[in-house]
Chain A
């Protein structure tokens, strides 16, 4: 089966089993390695990307669900090949330790700020709840969200 999916503004024809997760298509066929495989159960958020304006777990999103829909990954947030606003906030706050969760975190922040440009601390905590960091850098991540909102 072939599915036509728009990823970061470019159309890709994905060949594969229709139940294949978007995450595998991104990483193995399109070559975008930002989104990571974490739990495969929608519990950790490492695979988070944005589909039609909403943050989703790409490990639980089969490609057959995506015909004609628009996907944005962390690579899509680059500005002229340089880190985008949310990326830069994470760099400035040194919010990554091992970094495995960060691509997913960034997409969750992007989703949050698109819906609420000036979130309160409480709204940041609620909005980021779906994404976990096993290194425990949540405090720095929250500062990065606040910084990105100010920028």
Chain B
């Protein structure tokens, strides 16, 4: 072979590679909708879209603190940097007003915006790709009815190379499993509806499924529990998952409380607030499916009380003075705050003190407007050291787990976040 021929072949291979890369990465810009050409949407379609928006937590992520609904700007901290949710109101300049139904569907299913740029999977299109055509249309219809607000979301703070959106084309090849959820014929319609919701719009796995080094949910560990935003989303399936039955889970998801499992705190409080606004049938379907992932006939969890730990005798006074009036009611009756014996919930059984320490620091305040579980914040009432001791005390007394490591750091972190949010 002559050098000339090798050169030609090399160039041909190079050109082929460029064409392949281009085909993988490049996505066309889709035509903007004409201004004022909005079709009329049906009342039922908009109502379904509203319910789907609640199920999908859309408003929670796409609304900044004290910002206009759906106008974007809320930061999401990821291991790769901070991503800001964008404005999805119908504003034509800063929102998605120019997006056609096709553009919206492409974003939901393929993670590509109207202009053809790749989105980051902080927007959970890997789940939304499972939503069927009718529901995507309904969601689009609803989002056309929210007030248009002019608000440009801040630029993402992603270091090189994560700021190169084209990389997501490769990521999608590896991790985007597009296509609908196939119904399982031996299961009930309700179970199948629940699975469709859980794997699609409600994207439960975004918090409850651990992620790999590239930030993709590990499909082999679906809903096996994961850290998120400084909290631990408990396992719903597999080892360590606590058995739930359908009525327990339906109550927990719609009202934030189950006597047998305790209260939904942290980020789950926001999810419950959204789920409280949808039809009970949808919540029951989710409960049916998720409860089926564990053995929902297993007996009730036995309460644990190992007594006052010897090395934390001084902390016992804090427990009696600050905690026991709700968590250790003498006659076992429920009190107005819905305090439960602490061995009931997941917080004390996990491998890390995240949920326990954060709940002591920040309390539970998600249900104040409509009744439901409530816990005052003890960050401020108690010092970092006292909260650390108390966290170890409850772990030792009300669980069979080994003493936690790193409690002090978790408490300091939670307290510093509380102080930041306290500049009212």
- Is B314 an interface residue, CB under 8 A from the partner? yes
Is B303 in contact with chain A by the CB < 8 A criterion?
A: no
- Give chain A residues whose Cβ lies under 8 Å from the Cβ of B383: 65, 69
Contacts of A4 in B (CB 8 A): none
A 104-121 to B, binary, CB cutoff 8 A, 1 in contact else 0: 000000001001100100
| Cα–Cα distance between A56 and B325 once the two chains are bound (Å) | 16
Asked whether any CB of chain B lies closer than 8 Å to the CB of A34, the reply is no
Residue contact A62 to B317, C-beta cutoff 8 Å: yes
- Interface band, chain B: 20 to 34
Q: In this assembly, does A40 line the interface, its C-beta being within 8 Å of a C-beta of chain B?
A: yes
A61 to B326, CA, bound (A): 14
Give A94-141 interface residues, CB cut-off 8 Å to B: 112, 115-116, 119, 122-123, 126-127, 129-130
Given contacts A43-B374, A56-B380, contact A65 B321 (CB under 8 A): yes
> B42-55: contact bitstring with A at CB < 8 Å (1 yes, 0 no)?
00000000000000
Q: How many Å from the CB of A34 to the closest CB on chain B?
A: 18
Closest to B321 in A: A62
Whether the Cβ atoms of B318 and A62 lie closer than 8 Å is yes
Q: What is the CA–CA distance of A112 and B376 in the complex, to the nearest angstrom? A: 17
Residue of B318, B321, B423 ringed by the most chain A CB atoms within 10 A: B321
> Is B100 in the interface zone, CB < 8 Å from A?
no
The smallest beta-carbon distance between B79 and chain A, in angstroms, is: 31
Whether A54 contacts B380 by the Cβ 8 Å rule is: yes
Complex: A19 Cα to B316 Cα, angstroms? 8
Contact A127 B318 (CB under 8 A): no
Known contacts A54-B380, A60-B321, A61-B381: A129-B368 contact under CB 8 Å: yes
Interface residue? A42 (CB, 8 A): yes
Chain B, residue nearest A69 (CB): B383
* B336 contact set on A, CB distance < 8 A: 39, 41, 43
- Nearest to A53 among chain B residues (CB) is B380
* Interface members, chain A 46-69 (any B CB < 8 Å): 51-52, 54-57, 60-65, 69
Contact indicator A57/B424 (Cβ below 8 Å) = no
Whether B325 pairs with A51 at a CB distance below 8 angstroms is no
Distance of B314 from chain A, by nearest CB (Å): 7
For A64, the chain B residues whose CB sits under 8 A away are 314, 317-318, 321
Contact B321–A127 (Cβ < 8 Å): no
The complex places the Cα of A19 from the Cα of B323 at a distance, in Å, of: 10
Q: Given A115-B422, A119-B424, A129-B368, decide whether A60 and B322 contact each other with a Cβ distance below 8 A.
A: yes
Interface centre among A42, A43, A130 (most CB of B within 10 A): A42
The residue that B424 contacts in the complex, of A18, A40, A63, A112, with Cβ under 8 A, is: A112
Determine the distance from Cα of A69 to Cα of B66 in the docked complex, in whole angstroms: 34
Contacting residues, chain A, for B376 (C-beta < 8 A):
41-43, 57, 60, 130
Interface residue tally for chain A (C-beta within 8 Å): 33
**Complex: how many Å from CA A142 to CA B279?**
36
B329-346 at interface with A (beta carbon < 8 Å): 335-337
With A40-B325, A64-B314 in contact, do A19 and B320 touch (Cβ < 8 Å)? yes
Expressed in whole angstroms, the Cα–Cα distance for A56 and B322 within the complex equals 11
Bound together, the chains give a CA A2 to CA B68 distance in angstroms of 52
The closest CB in chain A to the CB of B375 belongs to A42
- Whether A123 contacts B325 by the Cβ 8 Å rule is no
Please report the C-alpha to C-alpha distance between residue A20 and residue B318 in the assembled complex, in whole angstroms. 9
The answer to whether A19 and B317 touch across the interface, beta carbons within 8 angstroms, is yes
Nearest residue, chain A, Cβ from B386: A65
C-alpha gap A142/B150 in the complex (Å): 31
User: Residues 365-379 of chain B: 1 if any A CB is under 8 Å from the residue's CB, otherwise 0?
Assistant: 000100000111010
With both beta carbons as reference points, the residue of chain A lying nearest to B368 in the complex is identified as A129
Tell me, rounded to whole Å, the shortest Cβ–Cβ distance linking A144 to chain B. 17
**Within the assembled complex, what's the spacing in Å between the Cα atoms of A112 and B66?**
18
User: Any chain A CB within 8 A of the CB of B382?
Assistant: yes
- State whether A51 touches B422 (Cβ < 8 A): no
Name A68's closest neighbour in chain B (CB-CB): B383
Whether A41 contacts B337 by the Cβ 8 Å rule is: yes
Question: When the two chains form their complex, are residues A65 and B337 in contact, meaning their CB atoms are under 8 A apart?
Answer: no
**Can you give 29 A-B contacts (C-beta < 8 A)?**
A17-B317, A19-B316, A20-B321, A40-B325, A41-B325, A41-B335, A41-B376, A42-B337, A42-B375, A51-B380, A54-B380, A54-B381, A55-B380, A56-B380, A60-B322, A61-B322, A61-B381, A62-B320, A63-B321, A64-B314, A64-B317, A64-B318, A65-B321, A65-B322, A69-B383, A115-B423, A119-B424, A122-B66, A123-B424
Q: Which 5 A-B pairs have the closest CB atoms?
A: A62-B321, A42-B376, A18-B317, A19-B320, A54-B380
Can you add 13 more A-B contacts, CB < 8 Å, to A19-B321, A54-B380?
Answer: A19-B320, A41-B325, A41-B326, A41-B337, A42-B376, A54-B381, A61-B322, A62-B321, A62-B322, A116-B423, A122-B66, A126-B424, A129-B368
